[in-house]
Amino acid sequence: MDFIYFSKKPFGWAEQMLVEKIRELGYTADVYDWDEVEITDSSFMYQGKEMKLPTVAMFISRVRTRHIQGDRLYLFDWLELLETKGVRILNRPKAVRSSSNKVYAANILKSAGIRVPETRLVTSMDQIEAALKEWKDIILKPLAGNASVDLTRLILDERRYGDEETEVLSIFQETPIWNMLQKHPVICAQQYVQNPGHDIRINVVAGKVVSISANDALPNTWRKKDINEGKLLRKYELTKELESIALKAVEVLGLDYAPIDLVEGEDGPVVIEVNSAISIWPGHETMGITIDSEGSVKYYVNMIIENINKYSTQSV
């Protein structure tokens, strides 16, 4: 097998479409349900049957996110086991693990000279209060993000109707945070980067920016994404500065491709997050946000084919 895209049911548009394109070019490719894969030291099984290892593999974000924290460590062990057997995984498991830890990634990016928010780990109410006092306006988020679930903003001295005077956190602020700490014993705290009300999303593939869009805040909130309300996307111009930040961020994290979230801070673009799984859908290809008017799919296809050609000859 030349290429396997590991997915979870229900399979999505991106993995099915990419597999189809790779097949059209004469290669063998398939989408496998990760839940039906078994990897041991001597075998690779799918749906109970012994299979040949693929030369190249990819996996969708749900393979990573549908695990609780400790469990996820084992997931990375399985993926690295595949790598030690010679499978080229795009993105490499180590790079995915580092990028999806927001505190670790912020450190790597900052060391490379890329602007990121002030970031630290917090594990207690006291540490959260200290961060809020110091930074005045903060974001708390799970170490590894997932569709902005549990992402919370706290503003110092923000009083709402019915709030009582308290030392740092108001009663209304303390309640969701207490609950968050029960669910996430280790949290990523960041200074909120003041911005004009839109995110910038850039997709990089194999050293090239393939799409850029702006994502406006939803009505009556600073949030730009809501699992129920969706997103407000529009075209956005790629500047040289944005391009060089995006390419460098992907390079220093050791990724092959990445969707990157930035905001425009007062001193320039700030990288909020470097995602490590593909994020394209039919509208992404047709709404005019891709750099190439033909869309971005061919760049993913080329990256996969180049790796198949490179690694299949190596293993013979």
Ligand X SMILES: Nc1ncnc2c1ncn2[C@@H]1O[C@H](COP(=O)(O)OP(=O)(O)O)[C@@H](O)[C@H]1O
Scored b (16 or more CB within 10 A) or e, 66-81 reads: eeeeeebeebbeebee
Whole-angstrom distance, CA of residue 273 vs CA of residue 261: 5
For residues 140 and 187, the answer to whether their CB atoms sit within 8 Å is: yes
* Interface region with ligand X, contact rule CB under 6 A, candidates 59-67, 192-200, 239-247, 293-301: 192-200
CB of residue 217 to ligand X, shortest distance in Å: 8
Question: Quick one: 93 or 117, whose CB is closer to ligand X?
Answer: 117
Residue nearest ligand X, Cβ-based: 145
Binding mask 218-247 for Mg ion (x = CB under 5 A): ------------------------------
Among residues 55, 99, 190, 307, which is the contact residue for ligand X, using CB under 6 A?
190
Residue 261 interacting with ligand X (CB under 6 A): yes
234: left (phi over 0), alpha (psi -120 to 50) or beta: beta
Q: From the list Mg ion, ligand X, none, which binds 117 (C-beta under 5 to 8 Å, kind-based)? A: ligand X
Size of the site for ligand X (CB under 6 A): 16
Among residues 2, 129, 264, 273, which is the contact residue for Mg ion, using CB under 5 A?
273
Residue 189 interacting with ligand X (CB under 6 A): no
Binding mask 141-170 for ligand X (x = CB under 6 A): x---x-xx--x-------------------
For residues 257 and 98, the answer to whether their CB atoms sit within 8 Å is: no
Look at residues 202, 201, 203, 200 and name the one whose alpha carbon lies nearest to residue 303: 203
Phi, psi angle pair for 54, to nearest 5°:
-80, 160
CA atoms within 13 A on the CB side of 3: 30
Question: Quick one: 184 or 224, whose CB is closer to ligand X?
Answer: 224
Question: Quick one: 16 or 194, whose CB is closer to ligand X?
Answer: 194
For residues 140 and 122, the answer to whether their CB atoms sit within 8 Å is: yes
Contacting ligand X within 222-251 (CB under 6 A): 224
Q: From the list Mg ion, ligand X, none, which binds 130 (C-beta under 5 to 8 Å, kind-based)? A: none
Question: Quick one: 232 or 301, whose CB is closer to ligand X?
Answer: 232
Binding mask 242-271 for Mg ion (x = CB under 5 A): -------------------x----------
Residues 6+ apart with CB under 8 A from 163: 170, 171, 172
CA angle 295, 218, 194 (to 5 degrees): 95
Q: Where are the beta strands (DSSP E) in the chain?
A: 3-7, 29-33, 37-39, 44-46, 49-50, 56-59, 88-89, 119-122, 137-142, 152-155, 187-191, 198-205, 208-216, 232-235, 257-265, 268-274
Question: Quick one: 131 or 272, whose CB is closer to ligand X?
Answer: 272
Whole-angstrom distance, CA of residue 207 vs CA of residue 220: 37
* Token pair listed for 65: 């996110």
3-state secondary structure of 177: helix
Residue 117 interacting with ligand X (CB under 6 A): yes
Among residues 192, 216, 238, 279, which is the contact residue for ligand X, using CB under 6 A?
192
Contacting ligand X within 267-286 (CB under 6 A): 272-273
Contacting Mg ion within 112-131 (CB under 5 A): none
Strand pairing report for 187-191 and 37-39:
unpaired
Residue 199 interacting with Mg ion (CB under 5 A): no
3-state secondary structure of 121: strand
Residue 96 interacting with ligand X (CB under 6 A): no
> What residues make contact with ligand X under the rule CB under 6 A?
117, 139, 141, 145, 147-148, 151, 190, 192-193, 199, 224, 261, 263, 272-273
> What residues make contact with Mg ion under the rule CB under 5 A?
261, 273
